[in-house]
Structure 1
Amino acid sequence: MSKFKVPTRGEVSENNQTVFDNLQKGLGFVPNIYAAMAHSENALSSYLQFSSAPTSFSKKEKEIIDLAVSQLNGCRYCQSAHTALGKMNGFTDEQIIELRKGGASWDYKANVLAQTAREVADKKGKVSEEVLESFYGAGYSEANLVDLIVAIGIITITNLFHNVTDVDIDFPIAVEI
């Protein structure tokens, strides 16, 4: 049961009602995590603008980051949401489990990305030269490193928000690992 009330469209500001309408049109529903952010007049639209900004990573690479970091941060909501999104981006159930653990044995570059994302998040950015050399050696650039840090920040916001509010998960529940 949620600790934090998930408001309905009629319970949020006019600005957030417009955001709800756009989410409904684009996704087919308003995820509880987003609806709960609408308690704030500005947080939801600011978060969505930040999280949908262009990045040097593909959608698939973004899911690698989100899965690895959400597992590390213990966010069941994001583990579930990104498991669903990971499947939509072509990952198998087994690959998703491995990505959540911070690896990808089937693909060298994906493996390095998952490991680096997890290491940056876990060490709060204080990673070794070896980690960075591996990242660059896999073909990633300094621009990718900047975008990785931003992506980790974005998913961490959502992870922390759910871990504090415990809003009901409205995606198929990911298996626990």
Structure 2
Amino acid sequence: MSNLFPLHTSASAPAAAQPLLEAASQAFGFVPNLIAIMASSPALTEAYLALSAIFEQKTSLTPTERQVVLLAVSRYHACRYCVAAHSTIADMQGIPPAVVEAIRSDQPIADTRLEALRSMVNALLERRALLPDATLESFFSAGYTPAQLLDVLVGVAQKTLSNFTNHLAGTPLDEPMHARAWTPAERLPH
């Protein structure tokens, strides 16, 4: 079905998506395949890029914490594209490889604060944010605040948009991500 979701260029994209593709090209040095596919829907492209900017620039989470959120959501959703993309970004940002590998393999992170964050992301997704008090207390006892818990939701929303897009479209990895390709341990239902 991936032929339903073309990899757009500025020439083929709807007019409303063209400036978004240009902005992505300027930000990344190329148009990632995810954005090229999203361009079929200028609304989706704009929403994803806006959430990405908000998560990056306006939340109180550190760069490492943001990557933990984005990787954990992508791993939970078994998104090959986004796990490879955020593993690559984490490498570029100097995030310890052990942190990235723990998330990729769904194992605890040795750093207790980052593990509390990874566990919270998984709990939010598994329980649709219907969390018992003990789960919240564990997160807050690791030093996170209620505002940071809400900031995590911005990353969850951002990655849900991209993860689901990639599932629908079968987005091919961009060349820079090939070294960090990832396959989920379990197969998704068809």
TM-score (norm 1): 0.91
**CA distance in structure 2 between the aligned counterparts of 1:119 and 1:19, rounded to whole angstroms:** 33
**CA distance in structure 2 between the aligned counterparts of 1:93 and 1:175, rounded to whole angstroms:** 15
Are the aligned partners of 1:102 and 1:115 in contact in 2 as well (CA < 8 Å)? no
Q: 1:102, CA displacement in angstroms?
A: 5.3
Are the aligned partners of 1:67 and 1:83 in contact in 2 as well (CA < 8 Å)? yes
Are the aligned partners of 2:2 and 2:168 in contact in 1 as well (CA < 8 Å)? no
- The sequence identity of aligned pairs, in percent, is 28
Structure 2 residue runs without a partner (length 5+): 186-190
Are the aligned partners of 1:76 and 1:174 in contact in 2 as well (CA < 8 Å)? yes
Q: Tell me if 1:103 matches 2:108.
A: yes
Partner residue, 2:188: none
* Structure 2 SS opposite 1:125: coil
Partner residue, 1:127: 131
Partner residue, 1:28: 29
**CA distance in structure 2 between the aligned counterparts of 1:129 and 1:102, rounded to whole angstroms:** 23
Match of residue 117, structure 2, among 113, 118, 125 = 113
Partner residue, 2:161: 157
Are the aligned partners of 2:51 and 2:154 in contact in 1 as well (CA < 8 Å)? no
Q: How is 1:34-53 mapped onto 2 (pairs within 5 angstroms)?
A: 34-53=35-54
**CA distance in structure 1 between the aligned counterparts of 2:168 and 2:107, rounded to whole angstroms:** 24
Q: 1:65, CA displacement in angstroms?
A: 0.7
Are the aligned partners of 2:74 and 2:163 in contact in 1 as well (CA < 8 Å)? yes
**CA distance in structure 2 between the aligned counterparts of 1:118 and 1:88, rounded to whole angstroms:** 24
* Structure 2 SS opposite 1:115: helix
Q: 1:2, CA displacement in angstroms?
A: 3.8
Partner residue, 1:82: 86
